[in-house]
């Protein structure tokens, strides 16, 4: 059984996960608002986990180099001082935005 993503990966991907998995997270929290029993929201939790894993797999497939640079910079910053890492963040976000731009382009004939 895999331990799942590490904290540094989740930290670096948090903004992206928030955007990509918003629908799943909202459904999970709406379920938790109705019933605090953990068993009642297992299905919604599964969908959140699946979305996070799919997003991280997509990052690994398409933007691993820029993501790892961003993640490693964050890992070594002092007291969450992000300024030294902003350029790496922009590089990763540009890579990610490029994935959707490639999908939006019509196939050439």
DSSP 21: T
Given this model, what pLDDT does residue 82 score? 81
| Alpha-carbon distance values, 101 to 53, 73, 87, 94, 104 (Å) | 22, 26, 21, 10, 5
Please check whether residue 14 lies inside any domain of the structure: yes
Asked if 55 contacts 14 with a C-beta cutoff of 8 angstroms, the reply is no
Given this model, what pLDDT does residue 47 score? 98
Please check whether residue 16 lies inside any domain of the structure: yes
Q: Domain tally for the chain? A: 1
Token output for 73: 């910079």
Given this model, what pLDDT does residue 1 score? 47
Whole-model pTM: value is 0.84
Three-state SS letters, 38-94: HHHHHHHHHHHHHHHHHHHHHHHHHHHHHHHHHHHHHHCCCCCCCHHHHHHHHHHHH
Show the domain range for 56.
Answer: 7-102
Please check whether residue 80 lies inside any domain of the structure: yes
Please check whether residue 48 lies inside any domain of the structure: yes
Please check whether residue 108 lies inside any domain of the structure: no
Task: Return the half-sphere exposure (C-beta side, CA atoms, 13 A cut-off) of residue 33.
Answer: 6
Please check whether residue 109 lies inside any domain of the structure: no
Q: What is the pLDDT along the chain (109 residues), one digit of tens a residue?
A: 467 899 899 999 999 999 999 999 999 999 999 988 889 999 999 999 999 999 999 999 999 999 999 999 988 887 767 888 999 999 999 999 998 766 655 655 4
């Amino acid at each position: 059984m895999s331990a799942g993503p590490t904290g540094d990966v989740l930290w670096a991907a948090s903004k992206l996960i928030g955007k990509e998995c918003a629908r799943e997270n909202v459904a999970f929290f709406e379920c938790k608002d109705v019933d605090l029993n953990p068993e009642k929201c297992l299905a919604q939790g599964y969908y959140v986990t699946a979305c996070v894993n799919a997003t991280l797999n997509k990052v690994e497939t398409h933007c691993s180099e820029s993501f790892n640079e961003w993640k490693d910079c964050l890992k070594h910053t002092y007291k969450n001082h992000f300024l030294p890492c902003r350029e790496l963040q922009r590089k990763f976000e540009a890579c990610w935005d490029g994935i959707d731009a490639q999908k939006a382009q019509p196939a050439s004939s």
